[in-house]
Amino acid sequence: MAEEENTSMAEEESTEAIRPELPIGRVKKIMKLDNDINKVNSEALFLVTCSAELFLRFLAEKSAEITTERKRKIVKLEHIRIAVKKHQPTSDFLLDSLPMPSSQPSDRPATDQKHPRPVSEKPVPAGTRRIDHFFHKPANEAPILIDNDES
Amino acid sequence: MDDNVGASDPNEDNNNIKEQERLLPIANVGRIMKQRLPLNAKISKEAKETMQECVSEFISFVTSEASEKCRKERRKTVNGDDVCWALEALGFDDYSGPIRRYLHRYRELEVERANQDRVRDNEREA
């Protein structure tokens, strides 16, 4: 993209070419998934990428506001959902697409999807570790702090 | 590995590839989200994944609306003005101002680039 040349600094936006932080090539692939869409020229592709970025920033900000309101430090799906609900145009196209609350993450191996048996079934000698403790931790996921008192 | 339940199977691998094609990279998404958060805040993996989906939906939604407009007007190619129109039609008029400025700037740069090419070509011929 063009370097800044001898243009005036009067414009409020950067006088350089605008560089979206999202990959334009991937945006193009996403567009192409819809067979009804014919041709999209390069300026349109550029603008869709820019507006997708604006949307992402907006939704991230609104979600974070919810997180902060609830005095949490981790942005969760539920915070996003509430943020989506609050903005009518976004809610109209997006609310139904959001995963249902407390759904299993899709990349968990099948073994973790079985519910562990209730721990209180049989009394065990003190200090015994139940065997299902070994299989309880998700194997490859980044640590997620479980927030049990979400409302 | 093959005996485990849920071991990778070719179909699942294909699904993963398709997933990658229809979502923006989680690294980019996560980074942009973080810019809007206080420093010590974190984002759950599920939230990042959800956000990937949201942005892809947005892209499809806006493009589809712009494309529909073109179809009605019997034009084949979606252009920048169509995208601006679609954003406003869908209620994202907050973006309209910045996006129109980007469009204006993009077109200016296109003209500059075309002029530079022309100058370069002329010099070459001299």
Give the Cα separation of B54 and B50 in Å (integer). 6
Question: Rounded to 5 degrees, what are φ and ψ at A129?
Answer: -100, 130
pLDDT at A140 over 70: no
- List, for residues A84-134, the tens digit of each pLDDT value: 999 999 999 999 999 887 655 554 444 544 455 555 555 666 666 666 556
Q: Which of B63, B91, B99 sits opposite A37 (nearest CB)?
A: B63
Q: Which helix (H) or strand (E) holds A89?
A: helix A88-94
- List, for residues A114-126, the tens digit of each pLDDT value: 455 555 555 666 6
Closest listed residue to residue A49, CA positions, set A39, A60, A57: A57
What's CA B26's distance to the chain center, in Å? 14
Give the Cα separation of A98 and B57 in Å (integer). 10
Would you state the pLDDT for residue A112? 45
Question: Rounded to 5 degrees, what are φ and ψ at B17?
Answer: -65, -45
Binary contact (B28, A21; C-beta < 8 A): yes
- List, for residues B86-118, the tens digit of each pLDDT value: 999 999 999 999 999 999 999 999 999 899 888
| Bridge partner list, B78 | A40
pLDDT at A5 over 70: no
Q: Which two tokens stand for residue B108?
A: 């200016």
pLDDT at B33 over 50: yes
Q: Which residue has the higher pLDDT, A151 or A34?
A: A34
pLDDT at B77 over 60: yes
Stretch among A76-80, B5-9, B72-76 having the lowest mean pLDDT: B5-9
Residue of B23, B52, B78 for testing the chain A interface, max A β-carbons within 10 Å = B78
ipTM, 2 decimals?
A: 0.85
Q: Which residues of B touch A55 (CB under 8 A)?
A: 54-55, 58, 92, 95
- List, for residues A40-62, the tens digit of each pLDDT value: 999 999 999 999 999 999 999 99
Closest listed residue to residue A114, CA positions, set B6, B101, B35: B6
Q: Which residues of A touch B83 (CB under 8 A)?
A: 44, 47-48, 51
Chain A nearest-CA distance from B115, in A, is: 12
A65 CB within 8 Å of a chain B CB: no
Checking phi first, is residue B58 left (phi over 0); if not, alpha (psi -120 to 50) or beta?
Answer: alpha
Nearest residue on chain A to B116, judged by CA atoms?
Answer: A2
Q: Which of B29, B44, B98 sits opposite A54 (nearest CB)?
A: B98
Closest listed residue to residue B41, CA positions, set A60, A3, A44: A60
Instruction: Give the mean model confidence (pLDDT) for residues A72-76.
Output: 94
Q: What is the share, in percent, of chain A residues with pLDDT greater than 70?
A: 56
Binary contact (A2, B78; C-beta < 8 A): no
What's CA A107's distance to the chain center, in Å? 15
